[in-house]
Amino acid sequence: MLYFLQHSKLFKIVIAIFYIISEFEMLIQFPNDFIIFRKIYFYLIRIKIGKKSYIGKNAILYRAHQISIGNYASIGENCMLHAHANIKIGDNFLAAPGLTINSGGHNLETLQPISKEIIIGNNVWCGLNVVILSGVTIGNNVVIGAGAVVTKNVASNVLVAGNPAKVLKNINRTEEIWTWHNSKCND
């Protein structure tokens, strides 16, 4: 019965209504505000999203039931998460607008579709317009520079940038990092 309801025209209309209302709601809200219609919309599309996590307006979430986002994550507006395979994002993830994560692709010779899981660790920060492609695993405490295209695995504690993304610097974090949940803007 539940399967039938989730694939009925009425259910799709309800989802569309909640999406439109949640987009209007996002025009007057900030990441730490209570966003009720957005949360209902995420529940309806079955995305797994941790506590106090935020996804900005104009988000495209393809196959949202295969997307898992940790606690205290913040993803800027105009993001695209295409989950042809699972996409797992850790805690304290921070992404500027324009993030694209795509776990699908094509075989170069046959053009047959292929999909590989993407795993992103904790405390990862992505600059503007970052692209993360299928099969990539990104470690903890990583900074990805603006405009980077991540095509290969990234080790923990590094700064990567460029197209394709390359390690530019090691990061040695000794202090607690800034996150949405421990910032002054929560007061």
Asked whether residue 130 carries a pLDDT value surpassing 90, the answer given is yes
Q: Kindly provide the residue ranges of all beta strands, DSSP E only, lying in the chain, ordered along the sequence.
A: 48-49, 54-55, 60-62, 67-69, 74-75, 80-82, 87-89, 94-95, 100-102, 104-106, 113-115, 118-120, 125-126, 131-133, 137-138, 143-144, 149-150, 158-161, 166-170
Instruction: Identify the active-site residue in 7, 82, 84, 106.
Output: 106
User: pLDDT, tens digit, for every residue of 54-99?
Assistant: 888 888 899 988 999 999 999 999 999 999 999 999 999 999 999 9
Which residue reads 């929560």 in tokens?
186
Which residue reads 């989950």 in tokens?
83
104 pLDDT band (50/70/90 cuts)?
very high
Q: Are 105 and 85 in contact (CB under 8 A)?
A: no
pTM: 0.81
Alpha helices in 134-174 (DSSP H): none
Q: Are 152 and 164 in contact (CB under 8 A)?
A: yes
Token output for 99: 């993030």
15 vs 52: which has the higher pLDDT = 52
> Which of 2-6, 72-76, 129-133, 174-178 is the most confident on average?
129-133
Q: Is 181 a catalytic site residue?
A: no
User: pLDDT, tens digit, for every residue of 151-177?
Assistant: 999 999 999 999 999 999 999 876 666
